[in-house]
């Protein structure tokens, strides 16, 4: 099937990119834009340029206030690889009114989220589709976004940029493994990350942040350095489904969002890259879990969770010493009930990929007790 080549995608994650970051991304990629994607790049660059006065104004008007914000309640982080059910889990928890979260407007347009909040709210409401192209989950301005998308509009330190620039994909893998960055780059990431979280906290009245980005699973030590009392709710899923669905997701997103050319034989390269990230991410996490206080780390299996979301969340609240479950229960239950008709994607697993999953990810099968097929 021929790849779709949209001339303009108004829902591109870089539509709210700050101009300095946009220019750095272009420079890092040697301005090598696929000719077929030049209209999209021109739109993104034009938006960044047109919005730059508002970014300056927002910084002058609000940065001092944002910098004075204190995050009194350390965040609750949802951990898990892509396609492990982290979005479903986060969407349920977003209905607990005690939590703040990375809302689409405040995150994707963080550099302008105060001065142009109404404009971006109107724009995002107009361009969001009814469901995500990779999994049929509904879009909504009333549901959370991954905070890494906000960081990606401010800095190049996000693995998400490999979607826009697949030719240079290796350059963005350290965006998932923050420890790989130089000390100066780590400080720049930390500054942008804290700016985003403080701004979200300020905008939402000081509530505890509940955050989810799959790359958080790979930098727990950096998060604990920033927030020593953070809670971690880790969801795991069988590796067969996870790998198949993640490959489908990345390729689908690249079809819609890439700006550089797709390298030859990239499907195989993408497969190998995702295996390497999975292996490294979970070897790393399994080493780090013993150092986290037991009342600050809790795990849920996706397969059991979807059968009884409310029961598993009740146990998670207790284990993580989070109050407010009974008060939030009606809202949590209402959202769970609204999703009962959700239809999952189905993927075919061939013998080659099955063998590769079992060989490369055997340690993960063993850790969680997943059976080989």
pLDDT tens for residues 291-325?
999 999 999 999 999 999 999 999 999 999 999 99
Residue 242's SS3 state is: helix
- The percent of residues above 70 in pLDDT, for the chain, comes to 92
Average pLDDT, the chain: 91
Evaluated on CA atoms 105, 106, 111, 117, the torsion sign reads positive
CA distance readout (Å), 169 to 38, 125, 160, 254: 19, 31, 10, 11
Closest CA to 275 of 81, 5, 112: 81
Closest CA to 137 of 325, 335, 312: 335
Residue 159 CB neighbour total at 10 angstroms = 20
Mean pLDDT of 4-11: 66
Predicted local distance difference test score (pLDDT) of residue 138: 57
pLDDT of 136 over the 70 cut: no
Residue 23 CB neighbour total at 10 angstroms = 15
Distance from CA of residue 39 to its chain's centroid? 26
Give residue-wise pLDDT tens across range 235-260.
999 999 999 999 999 999 999 899 99
Evaluated on CA atoms 28, 144, 180, 242, the torsion sign reads negative
Could you tell me the pTM of the whole model? 0.93
pLDDT of 7 over the 80 cut: no
Distance from CA of residue 233 to its chain's centroid? 15
pLDDT of 71 over the 90 cut: yes
pLDDT of 5 over the 70 cut: no
Give the bridge partners for 212, in sequence order: 78
- The percent of residues above 90 in pLDDT, for the chain, comes to 83
Strands (E), the chain: 76-79, 99-100, 208-212, 231-236, 297-301
Q: How far apart are CA 354 and CA 373, in angstroms?
A: 8
Give residue-wise pLDDT tens across range 73-103.
999 999 999 999 999 999 999 999 999 999 9
* Residue where the block lists tokens 């809202």: 331
Closest CA to 96 of 192, 210, 197: 210
Could you tell me which residue, 119 or 37, shows the higher pLDDT?
Answer: 37
DSSP classification of residue 297: E
């Amino acid at each position: 099937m021929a790849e779709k080549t949209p001339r303009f995608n108004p829902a591109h994650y870089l539509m709210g990119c700050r101009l300095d970051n946009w220019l750095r991304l272009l420079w890092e990629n040697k301005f090598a834009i696929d000719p077929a994607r030049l209209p999209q790049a021109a739109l993104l660059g034009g938006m960044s340029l047109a919005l730059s006065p508002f970014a300056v104004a927002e910084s002058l008007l609000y940065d001092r206030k944002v910098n004075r914000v204190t995050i009194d309640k350390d965040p609750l982080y949802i951990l898990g690889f892509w396609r492990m059910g982290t979005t479903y889990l986060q969407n349920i928890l977003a209905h607990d009114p005690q939590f703040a979260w990375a809302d689409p407007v405040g995150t994707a347009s963080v550099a302008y989220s105060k001065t142009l909040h109404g404009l971006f709210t109107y724009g995002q409401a107009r361009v969001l589709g009814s469901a995500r192209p990779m999994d049929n989950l509904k879009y909504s301005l009333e549901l959370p976004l991954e905070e890494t998308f906000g960081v990606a509009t401010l800095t190049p330190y996000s693995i998400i940029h490999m979607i826009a620039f697949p030719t240079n994909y290796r350059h963005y893998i350290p965006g998932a493994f923050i420890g790989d960055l130089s000390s100066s780059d780590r400080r720049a990431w930390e500054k942008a990350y804290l700016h985003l979280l403080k701004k979200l906290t300020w905008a939402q009245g000081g509530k505890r942040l509940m955050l989810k980005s799959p790359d958080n699973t790979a930098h727990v030590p950096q998060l604990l350095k920033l927030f020593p009392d953070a809670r971690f709710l880790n969801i795991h899923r069988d590796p067969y489904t996870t790998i198949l669905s993640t490959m489908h997701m990345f390729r689908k997103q690249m079809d819609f969002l890439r700006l550089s050319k797709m390298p030859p034989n990239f499907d195989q390269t993408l497969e190998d890259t995702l295996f390497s990230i999975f292996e490294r991410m979970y070897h790393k996490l399994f080493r780090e879990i013993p150092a986290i206080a037991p009342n600050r780390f809790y795990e849920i299996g996706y397969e059991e969770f979807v059968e009884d979301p409310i029961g598993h969340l009740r146990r998670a609240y207790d284990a993580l010493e989070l109050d407010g479950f009974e008060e939030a229960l009606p809202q949590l239950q209402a959202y769970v009930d609204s999703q009962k008709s959700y239809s999952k994607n189905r993927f075919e697993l061939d013998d080659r990929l099955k063998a590769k999953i079992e060989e490369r990810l055997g340690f993960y099968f063993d850790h969680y007790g997943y059976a080989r097929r």
